[in-house]
Amino acid sequence: MTRQFDAIVIGSGQAGPSLAVRLAQAGLATALVEREHLGGTCVNDGCIPTKTLIASARVAHMARRAAEYGVSIGGPVAVDMAAVKARKDRIVQASLDSLTGWIRGTRNLDLIWGSARFTGPHEIAVGDETLSAPRIFINTGGRPVVPDWPGLSEIPYLTNTSMMALDILPRHLIVAGGSYIGLEFAQMYRRFGSEVTVLEYADRLIAREDADVSDAVCDILTAEGITVHLGARDLTVAPQGAGGVQLAAAVRGRSVVVTGSHLLLAVGRRPNVEELKLGAAGVKLDARGFIAVDDQLRTSAEGIWAMGDVNGQGAFTHTAYNDYEIVAANLLDGGSRRLSDRIPAYALFTDPPLGRVGMTEAEVRATGRPALKGQLPMTRVGRARERGETLGFMKVLIDRETRLILGAALLCVEGDEIVHSLLDVMAAKAPYDVIRHSVHIHPTVSELIPTMLGDLRPLE
Ligand SMILES: Cc1cc2nc3c(=O)[nH]c(=O)nc-3n(C[C@H](O)[C@H](O)[C@H](O)COP(=O)(O)OP(=O)(O)OC[C@H]3O[C@@H](n4cnc5c(N)ncnc54)[C@H](O)[C@@H]3O)c2cc1C
């Protein structure tokens, strides 16, 4: 027998639960189908646990620096990895409990456990059950890429998911991948006390950022004792001793062999589309393998939407949540919100963090438009000096004709927070003069943003 609903949401990532609750509250009989855990990646093995672990790692780091601040902690710093994991588990569990209570407490909303696959344009199967609805919303997220390196299948490797179960300190963690996920784990485990080596295929870390940002991040990490190999190609893997791993790579023409106790794969993520059997519903993928969507998140099939990482339009919790906001506003509130109105913004949560908004300098140059650039080393920022955290720099790019902010990279203490002052001015479509002339609180890091904007130079 087919169970009939008004709406079905597949996957409980960062868009699905909010949309399911909104639909149910609007009086629609709604099913939320989840195969593994509520909250998806962000809650279980992404943002929340990693940022919790990073907080522990930062405490260890600052404790080691205590003497610089005239503070004695009376002995060497010890990290109890079981206690670090227990703290992370408690914080994840609190989020899960709150989400579970919210979903279970919503009328008109049925939570159905199992993996969903399409059996027709308006029909899915979950186990032995068939569910049908005129509107179906896909929020199935993504998973780590496991490359086909020779030897990889013969060794026990880690991903961001299995890292969450680790309650010991790896003697030597090898991180394959020098982008956002890999670098956050690399710095975190170095601060916990592991030896850490990063191998990156590209010729610089976080290769989609400007070269000066990549280089500064690389300097910060190597200064903490992390070994970085850039341009690492032709990787092969072999077991080493009891449970260890050996990675061999060609690095800029020479051969490098790294022997470690653990290997973390952080070489990208791919969308969860295979299990959905999208062909049965006529839902098409784009050239990169993500579900193709239009500016309002509609797929190629009538009555089916795709939100979050699975549509390839963002790879963040805030972009997935914004997808929910767009769909809900347009379906339930008579709105006409669009994906193309979203200004790209994200952070790399290393320490100092990188707060990013809009275009990179390279992207601005590629447009050929006349532009201005402001840049400030953190050594010039009083609050950073007072806090003893002067690593990094801020940079902002302005359209010379419109005076609009085009983009910014804030690699600095609180960079993930203060970037929002620029983002909000961009969202208001206001000229940079607004923030240039606003009076920021002294002494803060934000205070130097108007200062930086007061000293713009033509982008040569
Ligand atoms: C280590 C790490 C750190 C991160 N840190 C940050 C950060 O600091 N800030 C940030 O903004 N983003 C971060 N992200 C990215 C962020 O976690 C994701 O962008 C976010 O979770 C949005 O995902 P989503 O809503 O698309 O789906 P997901 O959260 O991936 O959830 C998808 C859900 O769908 C379920 N599912 C899949 N297929 C099916 C099926 N066929 N049937 C039923 N259920 C199914 C899955 O079990 C899962 O629960 C991080 C990611 C990782 C891996």
Cβ 12 vs Cβ 40: under 8 Å: yes
Distance CA 372, CA 381 (A): 21
442 an active-site residue?
yes
Q: Is the CB of 13 under 6 A from ligand 1?
A: yes
Residue 380, amino acid? R
Distance 140 CA to ligand 1 centre (A): 8
Express the helix, strand and coil content of the chain in percent, nearest 5 each: 35, 25, 40
pLDDT one-digit tens code per residue, 343-389? 999 999 999 999 999 999 999 999 999 999 999 999 999 999 999 99
Cα torsion 22, 24, 28, 32: sign = positive
CA 48 to ligand 1 centroid distance, Å: 11
- What is the residue-wise DSSP string for 279-327? GGGTPPB-TTSSBP--TTSB-SSTTEEE-GGGGTS--SHHHHHHHHHHH
Give the CA dihedral 16, 22, 25, 28, nearest 10 degrees.
-70
Nearest CA to ligand 1 atom 35: 11
Cα–Cα distance, 367 to 401 (Å, whole number):
14
Indicate whether residue 48 lines ligand 1 (CB < 6 A). no
Cβ(47) – ligand 1 distance below 6 Å: yes
Q: Give the number of other Cβ atoms within 10 Å of residue 97's Cβ.
A: 11
One digit per residue, the tens of pLDDT, for the chain of length 460 reads 899 999 999 999 999 999 999 999 999 999 999 999 999 999 999 999 999 999 999 999 999 999 999 999 999 999 999 999 999 999 999 999 999 999 999 999 999 999 999 999 999 999 999 999 999 999 999 999 999 999 999 999 999 999 999 999 999 999 999 999 999 999 999 999 999 999 999 999 999 999 999 999 999 999 999 999 999 999 999 999 888 999 999 998 899 999 999 999 999 999 999 999 999 999 999 999 999 999 999 999 999 999 999 999 999 999 999 999 999 999 999 999 999 999 999 999 999 999 999 999 999 999 999 999 999 999 999 999 999 999 999 999 999 999 999 999 999 999 999 999 999 999 999 999 999 999 999 999 999 999 999 999 999 8
The pLDDT value recorded for residue 241 is 85
Distance 314 CA to ligand 1 centre (A): 11
CB 14 less than 6 A from any atom of ligand 1: yes
Which atom of ligand 1 approaches the CA of 47 most closely? Answer: 5
Could you tell me the distance, in angstroms and rounded to a whole number, from the CA of residue 227 to the centre of ligand 1? 29
Residue nearest to ligand 1 atom 5, measured at CA: 47
